[in-house]
Amino acid sequence: MSGQEPAEGEGRALATPEPAAAKPPQPPERGRMAGLLHEIATGSALLTFLSLVLALLVGAVLIAASNEAVIAASKYFFSRPGDTFAAIGAAVGGAYTAMFQGSIIDISEYTLLRALRPLADTLTYATPLIAAGLGVALAFRAGLFNIGAQGQLIVGAIFAGYVGGSMNLPYGLHIVATVLAGLVGGALWAGIAGFLKARTGAHEVIVTIMLNNIATFLVLYVLTTEVFRREGRTDPIGRFMPESAQLWRLFGADSPVRTHFGLILALLAAVGVWWLLNRSTVGFGYRAVGFNPNAARTAGISVERSYITVMLIAGALAGLAGVSQVLGTELYLTSGVAGGIGFDAITVALLGRSTPLGTVLAGLLFGALKAGGVVMQARTGTAIDIVSVVQSMVVLFIAAPPLVRTIFRLKTKERSA
């Protein structure tokens, strides 16, 4: 203690706490759901590849476990383990070899055209997957989880089926009008979800699920009407598309190969989506909204308008998938026109990291799995459901990056920094 009195004003300075240093403004945090969606949709290529490898390994385990020769050899595993391993190798190797021959090239055929026919089947299966996958991927980039590609595909097919099967238009104009009708149908169906999201805040997942169900029942209804149902038939099957409304076969009208001009349209759509996202102001706005809608709104971007327009474009792309089915592959409208394409498109978009090129490659891969799965089942007796399991496992591993990193002992970016 010095015993000196504090100077005037010194006591007030000690009593009054100094104001805390002003913190720099922090950017608004993204929502947990938006962050998870962004991580899933834009994961690294290495994680995507490793996810595919893991899915194929799981498929190999299922193939071995369901093979009768493996089961028989496993009963005396401890006396002759080599028989079990040989049976596993034969089962897995035979199944995946048959899948390759059924999806890429079959060297057992005598002519080049017949040998490459599996590749043509892969392209045919991949066409609607690429188109619908682009629609899902584009919505992903804008922060929207568009799982309504199934319904948008169906409505696009209905519109295309109506214009193609019920209107008599000149050659050339007919196919253009039919394709545009399919795009408009898909766009309008997806636009409902985008409008409700923008105006009321309704979650697009719930809305698109409901729209998928409505579209499923809608196509069942329209196929009971005289406008759509084929004349002389009582079962729900649409009218056969006239030649003026059919997409051209790439290998000739008389060729048994079904690959059609829809593949070219899907690839052109991929180029258009790439340009939209990477070379246009509108695409920059979509990516900004997908990364952080609050920051995008602060920067003057209309988030609500982005939600509506991106869903319109995404729906048009899914409608293109419906067009390719009605005008190119099936040539008539049926209740099963969509199959599981709309749901597989989600996997394709995820596997393709929501990029146009990645979506095209993922669509080709899934087209190969579909084409090869049929041949695998026919030649080896392996259940084709295993292909569906592999596709599902791809989604599972892509949606769980920490699991893949743990299995392969990969370091995260934070650890490696």
pLDDT (tens digit, 9 = 90+) per residue, 178-191?
999 999 999 999 99
For residues 190 and 148, give the distance between their C-alpha atoms in angstroms, rounded to a whole number: 7
Distance CA(106)–CA(111), nearest Å, equals 10
Judge whether residue 2 has pLDDT over 70.
no
Quote the CA–CA distance of 358 and 402 in Å, as a whole number.
Answer: 22
> Which residue in this structure is represented by tokens 């929501």?
354
The residues near 306 (Cβ < 8 Å, ≥ 6 apart) are: 142, 285, 286, 289, 296
Looking at residue 165, its pLDDT comes to 92
DSSP 382: -
The set of residues, in sequence order, having a beta carbon less than 8 Å from that of 318 and lying 6+ positions away, is 131, 132, 135, 136, 148, 149, 152, 153, 156, 186, 190, 342, 345
**Distance from C-alpha of 276 to C-alpha of 221, rounded to nearest angstrom:** 37
Cross-strand bridge partners of residue 238: 229
Confidence (pLDDT) at 244: 94
Measured between alpha carbons, how far apart are the two ends of the chain, in Å? 51
Q: How far apart are CA 351 and CA 363, in angstroms?
A: 9
Indicate if the pLDDT at residue 325 is higher than 50.
yes
Residue 42: the pLDDT is 58
- Per-residue pLDDT tens digits for 32-51: 666 655 655 555 778 888 88
Question: How far apart, in whole angstroms, are the C-alpha atoms of residue 220 and residue 213?
Answer: 11
Counts of helices then strands in the chain (DSSP H, E) = 19, 0
| Residue 417 predicted with pLDDT over 80 | no
Neighbours of 154 (CB within 10 A): 33
Instruction: Enter the pTM of the model.
Output: 0.84
